DNA sequence: CTTGAGGGATTGTTGAACAACTCTCTACGT
DNA sequence: ACGTAGAGAGTTGTTCAACAATCCCTCAAG
């Protein structure tokens, strides 16, 4: 997300070979990050990993002290994360790790169904090489499940869906999906039953992948639709359980 | 876009009547805007209206002088618009009005088809009241076409599609659609044939609306798919014409 | 024609200062 | 007891000025 290339960049290198293009991108992502972006990257991980529970306020004063950056730079990092949905900003009150409510969860899954199912339904002429990341993610999920590492299962699952959307080859769909999945991760951290939430989808991911490999895109889309409905129901249920215990 | 409400806001006002909720939102959007947001609003209009042609660099020095705000505040406004896709930021070079290339146009329409068609396809039990904005937009478009005001036709068309997506009742789909349409507007300004670009869709919007009113959602989705394909082809063709004249 | 070294202009970042606002707690009045 | 009005502390919003880092252009040397 930080190293998004730009339209005019693409054009300016358009006449050169793909070889140079790749090098250019590497150089760009190497040193081409502002202080604010590095701070954002740091906080992004903290939030996504669940170190900062939803509802937490991020104090400018404290973070300036700890990170050794100026308030202005820190605030710029806040803005970046706010627009990714990983922080929310209340005027004159500060930035907080968002607390998603049930409406948000329903909304997130609504958009996921729209995007992911459509991507699958429109697939055509997919060669095996482009499915490689999906295979790796499914394998990683199965491996983590055997170890009982449900957090890792959740991570592999997120990556699977991100790579699924990437099959469409659309920059904007990728960005949207990244944001949705990051927000969803926030919700996963608020519930205390990672196994119940992730275990069923290890095998369903495998099933989905088989359908894709077989070129059964319409059936895959239908299965994905049900899959996401089930996942939504599970998450909502878990969320309600937690809400009842902490009113 | 500026007055987006927040999850926790919604929850805290959840038990009150809709009456109070509305008033609260008005108050919030009245004075609850930072200087940066007001600056962003100003620049947003300039960009959307086409006053600043794509490729233009927005100088911090000049704008600080003209707008009477500090550089920090201006930079915050830049950040806001950057994340809406209306400006792009090149490190150590400044912010620019984006120049969309053909890949961008294809990508934009790809996402539009995904979202808009899916919204239409999933509609159900739509009462007439919620279609009111669509009626108004189509009428406004027909009116502007009679006057030969093709810019206004384009505006009405954008609003029609925004309201179409709004039927889904999803905050995140609304935001995504808003960003896509804003970017698309950028592309419209680069081509010099607004009539050819917008005229055909005045009547097609009317046709689409009729299908929706009749509850023919599947047929409407199919028509919208073709509609967007045609619009994309038209825009690409116009874009190529212009590129040939200004290499 | 390519390469590399100035130099001017612009952006990136910092730190401090003050204004504006929220939150909390206390005191007052009903 | 209840609600409210206000003061005070603490935090964020905004501005300003300065310096560091980087880009772009020019021009000279190979």
Query: Can you tell me whether residue B215 is helix, strand or coil?
Result: coil
Domain ranges in chain A are 7-96, 102-245
Nucleic strand C within 7 A of Cβ B6: no
Q: State the first-to-last Cα distance of chain A, in angstroms, to the nearest integer.
A: 36
Nucleic strand C within 7 A of Cβ A72: yes
Query: Can you tell me whether residue B58 is helix, strand or coil?
Result: strand
Q: Is B70 left (phi over 0), alpha (psi -120 to 50) or beta?
A: beta
CB contact under 8 A, A114 and B114: yes
Q: Are A5 and A22 in contact (CB under 8 A)?
A: no
CB contact under 8 A, A7 and B88: yes
Instruction: Tell whether the model's pLDDT for residue A10 goes beyond 80.
Output: no
CA–CA dist A137, A157 (Å, integer): 7
The number of angstroms, rounded, from the C-alpha of A155 to the middle of its chain's C-alpha atoms is 9
**Other C-beta atoms lying within 10 Å of the C-beta of residue A67:** 16
A232 touching chain B per CB within 8 A: no
Q: Which of residues 31-70 of A touch B (CB under 8 A)?
A: 32, 34
Nucleic strand C within 7 A of Cβ B92: yes
Question: What is the tens place of the pLDDT at every residue in B95-144?
Answer: 999 999 999 999 999 999 999 999 999 998 888 899 999 999 999 999 99
Residues of B within 8 A of A176 (CB-CB) are 111, 176
What is the mean pLDDT of the segment spanning A201-224?
96
Question: What is the tens place of the pLDDT at every residue in B202-227?
Answer: 999 999 999 999 999 999 999 999 99
* A75 to chain B: closest CA residue: B76
For residue B84, the model assigns a pLDDT of 86
Residues of B within 8 A of A96 (CB-CB) are 8
Instruction: Tell whether the model's pLDDT for residue B23 goes beyond 80.
Output: no
Residues of B within 8 A of A76 (CB-CB) are 75-76, 79
A92 touching chain B per CB within 8 A: no
Output B140 or A3, whichever has higher pLDDT: B140
Rounded to 10 degrees, the C-alpha dihedral B231/B233/B238/B240 comes to 150
CA–CA dist A134, A195 (Å, integer): 21
Nucleotide nearest to A33 (CA to C1'): C12
Nucleic strand C within 7 A of Cβ B71: yes
**Other C-beta atoms lying within 10 Å of the C-beta of residue A125:** 6
Between the CA of A72 and the C1' of D4, what is the distance in angstroms?
Answer: 38
Of A47, A132, A58, give the one whose Cα is nearest residue A93.
A58
Q: Are A131 and A205 in contact (CB under 8 A)?
A: no
Both structure tokens of B205: 């919007």
Output A140 or A16, whichever has higher pLDDT: A140
CB-nearest to A7 from B99, B111, B168 is B99
Mean pLDDT computed over every residue of chain B? 85
Q: State the first-to-last Cα distance of chain B, in angstroms, to the nearest integer.
A: 36
Q: Grade residue A191 by pLDDT with cuts at 50, 70 and 90.
A: confident
CATH architecture of the region A102-245 = Up-down Bundle (1.20)
Is CATH 1.10.10.10 what the domain over B19-96 is classified as, yes or no? Answer: yes
Strand C footprint nucleotides (protein C-beta < 7 Å): 10-17, 20-23
A·B CB contacts under 8 A: 93
Between the CA of B209 and the C1' of C23, what is the distance in angstroms?
Answer: 51
Rounded to 10 degrees, the C-alpha dihedral B164/B170/B172/B176 comes to -10
Query: Can you tell me whether residue B142 is helix, strand or coil?
Result: helix
Instruction: Tell whether the model's pLDDT for residue B27 goes beyond 60.
Output: no
Query: Can you tell me whether residue B97 is helix, strand or coil?
Result: coil
Nucleic strand C within 7 A of Cβ B28: no
Q: Grade residue B28 by pLDDT with cuts at 50, 70 and 90.
A: very low
Q: Per-residue DSSP letters for B150-208?
A: HHHHHHHHHHHHHHHHHTT--HHHHHHHHHHHHHHHHHHHHSS-HHHHHTHHHHHHHHH
Instruction: Tell whether the model's pLDDT for residue B164 goes beyond 70.
Output: yes
Of B118, B95, B107, B92, give the one whose Cα is nearest residue B40.
B95
| Topology given in CATH for the domain delimited by A7-96 | Arc Repressor Mutant, subunit A (1.10.10)
CA–CA dist B10, A103 (Å, integer): 10
Mean pLDDT computed over every residue of chain A? 86
Strand D footprint nucleotides (protein C-beta < 7 Å): 11-18, 21-24
Three-class secondary structure assignment of chain A: CCCCCCHHHHHHCCCCCHHHHHHHHHHHHHHCCCHHHHHHHHHHHHHHCCCCCCCCEECHHHHHHHHCCCHHHHHHHHHHHHHCCCCEEECCCEEECCCCCHHHHHHHHHHHHHHHHHHHHCCCCCCHHHHHHHHHHHHHHHHHHHHCCHHHHHHHHHHHHHHHHHCCCCHHHHHHHHHHHHHHHHHHHHCCCHHHHHHHHHHHHHHHHHHHHCCCHHHHHHHHHHHHHHHHHHHHHHHHHHHHHCC
Q: How far is B218 from chain A (nearest CA, A)?
A: 15
Instruction: Tell whether the model's pLDDT for residue B24 goes beyond 90.
Output: no
Instruction: Tell whether the model's pLDDT for residue A70 goes beyond 50.
Output: yes
- For the four alpha carbons of B197, B203, B204 and B206, in that order, the dihedral sign comes to positive
The reply to whether B19-96 and B102-245 are identical in fold is: no
Residue B120 belongs to what H/E stretch?
helix B118-121
Residues of B within 8 A of A103 (CB-CB) are 7, 10
Of A119, A90, A233, A112, give the one whose Cα is nearest residue A184.
A112
């Amino acid at each position: 997300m930080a190293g998004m290339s730009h339209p005019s960049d693409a054009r300016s290198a358009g006449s050169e070979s793909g070889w140079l293009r790749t090098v250019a991108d590497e150089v760009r992502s190497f040193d081409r990050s502002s202080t604010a972006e590095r701070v954002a990257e740091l906080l992004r991980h903290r939030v996504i990993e669940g170190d900062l529970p939803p509802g937490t306020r991020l104090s400018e004063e404290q973070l300036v002290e700890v990170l050794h950056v100026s308030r202005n730079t820190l605030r710029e990092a806040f803005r970046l994360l706010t627009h990714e949905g990983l922080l929310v900003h209340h005027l004159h009150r500060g930035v907080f790790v968002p607390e998603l409510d049930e409406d948000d969860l329903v909304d997130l899954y609504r958009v996921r169904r729209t995007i992911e199912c459509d991507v699958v339904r429109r697939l055509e002429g997919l060669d095996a090489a482009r499915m490689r990341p999906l295979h790796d993610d499914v394998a990683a999920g199965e491996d983590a499940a055997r170890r009982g590492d449900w957090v890792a299962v959740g991570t592999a699952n997120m990556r699977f869906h991100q790579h699924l959307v990437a099959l469409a080859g659309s920059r904007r769909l990728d960005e949207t999906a990244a944001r949705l999945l990051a927000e969803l991760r926030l919700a996963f951290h608020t519930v205390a039953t990672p196994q119940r939430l992730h275990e069923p989808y290890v095998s369903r991911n495998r099933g989905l992948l088989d359908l894709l490999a077989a070129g059964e895109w319409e059936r895959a889309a239908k299965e994905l639709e049900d899959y996401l409905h089930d996942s939504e129901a599970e998450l909502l249920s878990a969320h309600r359980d937690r809400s009842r215990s902490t009113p």
